[in-house]
């Protein structure tokens, strides 16, 4: 069952990982995230795979975390025994932990993004080395409205620069594919009906390069970011993120300050 949530295919030394929950705009529940991580690991370890492509089935890349199924309730038999410790442990493993692990996968990766990429969706796209966006793609992190300062993996400042990072966090507004390309967050913007072919063409081109050279090129860039403090900063901001959950817990007894029915309506309206 869980396997169906994520599809895995290899052709021309390119592994294609597909988020396959289109009826929920690829919202991420624990089973989907665990299947996704297993697919990343499989691609990383398969000597026949040179490049990893991550895509989403359906109209949208990912609407973010599935708030019905996350944050530890599954470990307590569905009972909502919220504690900051439980939230921290869940998010350390499945959110920031998985995202950093995928970012550090030695093989080059490309995210192909169409439709919405909301909040937790960024935790799937940003760890990829390259991003190809359809011209209808929109990226947003509107979690300030829920009393949280930003999603778990703080790529914002690194990807967008400080001014735009603050603007989208303060306002919750989405940036377009073209706007994301202009600031360097996205490599290429293509018409929606060319997203698959353009991503594939790029992946196949990269896959022809020597494995070791690709690995060293990726490491050179990531190591440069790490010397500037990338991983340390992401981990530190994750603790700030958890302060948001902690505050919501004390105010509302729930990890976010919003009612879920209202938010599902908002997401549906944007779909």
Task: Quote the least distance from Cβ 10 to Zn ion, whole Å.
Answer: 33
By CB under 5 A, the count of residues binding Zn ion is 2
Closer residue to Zn ion in complex, CB, 66/91: 91
Q: Which residue stretch of 7-15, 37-45, 85-93, 106-114 sits at the interface with Zn ion (rule: CB under 5 A)?
A: 85-93
Task: Quote the least distance from Cβ 255 to Zn ion, whole Å.
Answer: 7
Q: Which residue stretch of 90-98, 103-111, 154-162, 221-229 sits at the interface with Zn ion (rule: CB under 5 A)?
A: 90-98
Task: Quote the least distance from Cβ 202 to Zn ion, whole Å.
Answer: 32
Closer residue to Zn ion in complex, CB, 67/112: 67
Site string for Zn ion, 219-248 (x = CB under 5 A): ------------------------------
Closer residue to Zn ion in complex, CB, 182/236: 236
Is-contact 52 109, C-beta < 8 A? Answer: yes
Task: Quote the least distance from Cβ 175 to Zn ion, whole Å.
Answer: 21
Which candidate, 94, 92, 162, 160, places its Cα nearest to that of 126?
Answer: 160
Task: List binders of Zn ion among 96-155 (CB under 5 A).
Answer: 152
Q: What angle do CA 184, 162, 166 make, to 5 degrees?
A: 110
- Residue carrying the six token digits 């029915």: 261
DSSP-assigned letters across all residues of the chain? -HHHHEEEEEETTEEEEEE--GGGTT-B-HHHHHHHHHHHHHHHH-TT--EEEEEESSS-SB--B-TTT-TTGGGGTT-----HHHHHHHHIIIIIIHHHHHHT-SS-EEEEE-SEEEGGGHHHHTTSSEEEEETT-EEE--GGGGT-SS-SS--HHHHH-HHHHHHHHHH-PPEEHHHHHHTTS-SEEE-GGGHHHHHHHHHHHHHTS-HHHHHHHHHHHHHHHHHTTHHHHHHHHHHHHHHHHHHHHHHHSSSSSS-HHHHHHHHHHH-
Task: Quote the least distance from Cβ 245 to Zn ion, whole Å.
Answer: 6
Task: List binders of Zn ion among 149-178 (CB under 5 A).
Answer: 152
Closer residue to Zn ion in complex, CB, 149/161: 149
Closer residue to Zn ion in complex, CB, 108/255: 255
Task: Quote the least distance from Cβ 143 to Zn ion, whole Å.
Answer: 8
Closer residue to Zn ion in complex, CB, 91/129: 91
Task: Quote the least distance from Cβ 22 to Zn ion, whole Å.
Answer: 24
Closer residue to Zn ion in complex, CB, 56/70: 70
Residues that bind Zn ion (CB under 5 A): 91, 152
């Amino acid at each position: 069952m869980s396997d169906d949530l994520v599809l895995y295919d290899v052709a021309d030394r390119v592994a294609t990982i597909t988020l396959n929950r289109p009826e929920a705009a690829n919202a991420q529940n624990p089973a989907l995230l665990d299947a996704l991580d297993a697919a990343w690991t499989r691609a990383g370890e398969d000597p026949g795979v040179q490049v990893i492509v991550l895509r989403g089935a359906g109209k949208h890349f990912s609407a973010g975390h599935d708030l019905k199924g996350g944050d530890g309730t599954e470990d307590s038999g569905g009972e909502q025994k919220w504690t900051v410790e439980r939230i921290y442990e869940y998010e350390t493993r499945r959110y920031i932990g998985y995202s950093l692990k995928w970012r550090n996968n030695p093989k080059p990766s490309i995210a192909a993004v169409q439709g919405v990429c909301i909040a937790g969706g960024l935790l799937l796209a940003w760890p990829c080395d390259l991003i190809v966006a359809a011209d209808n793609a929109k990226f947003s992190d509107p979690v300030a409205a829920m009393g949280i300062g930003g999603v778990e993996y703080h790529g914002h400042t690194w990807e967008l620069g400080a001014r735009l990072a603050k603007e989208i966090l303060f306002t919750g507004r989405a940036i377009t594919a073209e706007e994301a390309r202009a600031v360097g967050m996205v490599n290429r913007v293509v018409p929606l009906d060319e997203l698959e072919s353009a991503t594939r063409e790029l992946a196949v081109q990269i896959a022809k390069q020597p494995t070791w050279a690709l690995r060293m090129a990726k490491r050179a860039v990531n190591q440069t970011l790490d010397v500037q403090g990338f991983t340390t900063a992401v981990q530190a901001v994750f603790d700030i993120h958890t302060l948001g959950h902690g505050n919501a817990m004390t105010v509302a007894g729930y990890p976010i300050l919003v009612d879920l029915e209202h938010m599902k309506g908002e997401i549906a309206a944007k779909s």
